[in-house]
Amino acid sequence: MAYDYDLVVIGAGPGGLSAAKRAAHYGAKVAIAEREALGGVCLNRGCIPKTLMAYASRFQQWIEDARCYGWQVGEAQFHWHQFRQARDQEVDCARQSHTKTLAKAGVDLIPESAVFVDPHTLKLGDRRVTADKLLIAVGGKPIKPDIPGIEHCVTSREMFALEELPKRLVIMGAGYIGVEFSSTFRGYGVEVMLINADDEILSGFDDDLRKAVHNGLTERGVEMWCKTKAKEVEPVTDGLRVTLSGDCPETITADLVLCAIGRTPNLEELQLEQAGVEVQEKAIAVDDQYRTSQSHIFAVGDCTNRVPLTPVARTEGRIFADIHFGNQPGQLQYDLIPSAVFSHPQAAGVGLTEAKAREQYGEEAIACQRIEFQPLLNRLLDHPTSPDLFKIIAEKSSGRVLGVHLVGDQVADLIQGIGLAMHQGVTQHDFETMIGVHPTAAEELFS
């Protein structure tokens, strides 16, 4: 049977874009369907604008700290509208770049929602398109708890369209999204209250890292309630009243309530049952070649049962195209993927947490080195600051490093080189005999 395309990609986020461009590079006839802006959540409502917002939130503290270095600085003022315009211009520039590179690669862009009609056919607006292979790369979306008044809350999506900064912000959820927004908006001078159902923030990260970030946030004025949930949100004359349950059964009032309790694959509108694609635990299950239950339909990124991170989706898209259009076998290692939290302080990690290492290797088989220190930059400051934390987890018998977890300025940049070293089997002895650059924070790892 002749098809309209060799490949149709559903979703133009990092995974879909990388797959479409790569497959076209190998000579495939490719189309990509995207009903919203190119770049997906990461570019438009996630990593890029959120990190720019985090950068903007740091300047007030930097300006205040400049006095300790001899600078006399006048009163600082933050103009939200001016920053928002600059942020949105940068995002728009990146979107335009994607449009140009797709056109240069010969990929047809179809600005419509995709719905499966049968295993090889999609309904795209008022037209039908067939493809030999299809790639699902639709990403994820925020979820909300089923509590009274939840319709009055916003998700991360709406946080990028705020016309004005709130004076008081309540955040439900203390994963990386909730933590990053709490840190950022506190830096703008907003009163921030973080509600966390768990006993500590950043579930899934190393326990020492979680505590260090918690301490850093509270030091900067973020209020936290752990083992606590919101059970009702209702409008009142001076904002939104949030009723809490759990360890802190209080009532608090805010101008804005952000729900950041998690995300789920964005699958409902695809009508996957028409294509015979199986869904397991709300995600598309795939094999090591990104194949679904249908041999010609594939999936990458946050809509699958793998790791929901932008660079993972981007790499999966590239490897998918290499395998199925370039005849180049490849496989992604999911056990050594670095991740970071762009809060203040920053946090980053790669490999096993201490708890996971002891669970897998045994309590007595693991050695942990914890390094706490004040970086040189902070030593002239006239106010207390939490120390940076570097932690190395190794197997005692071989010395092989199993995990590294960092808290401090710019650790997101530092963790990537460590991830590469761990891929090469770096040992504790290698760290101890490496000579670091002096004076830097990174040299603390090599002492």
Q: Which residues are catalytic?
A: 438
Q: Which H or E run contains 5?
A: strand 5-10
Q: Strand pairing of 228-236 and 297-299?
A: unpaired
Its sign, for the CA torsion 409, 410, 414, 415, is: positive
SS (H, E, C) 148-211: CCHHHCECHHHHCCCCCCCCEEEEECCCHHHHHHHHHHHHCCCEEEEECCCCCCCCCCCHHHHH
Q: How far is CA 353 from the centre of its chain?
A: 18
- Written as one string, the DSSP assignment of 303-334 is GBSS---HHHHHHHHHHHHHHHTS-------S
Cα dist. 391→10, 209, 250, 401 in Å? Answer: 41, 8, 36, 11
Name the nearest CA neighbour of 159 among 204, 190, 196.
190
Give the helix ranges, DSSP H, for 255-304: none
Name the nearest CA neighbour of 382 among 60, 71, 57, 67.
67
Reported as half-sphere exposure (CB side, CA atoms, 13 A), residue 330 has a value of 15
Name the nearest CA neighbour of 170 among 207, 131, 196, 201.
196
- Contact status, residue 228 vs residue 148, Cβ threshold 8 Å: no
DSSP β-bridge partners for residue 351: 403
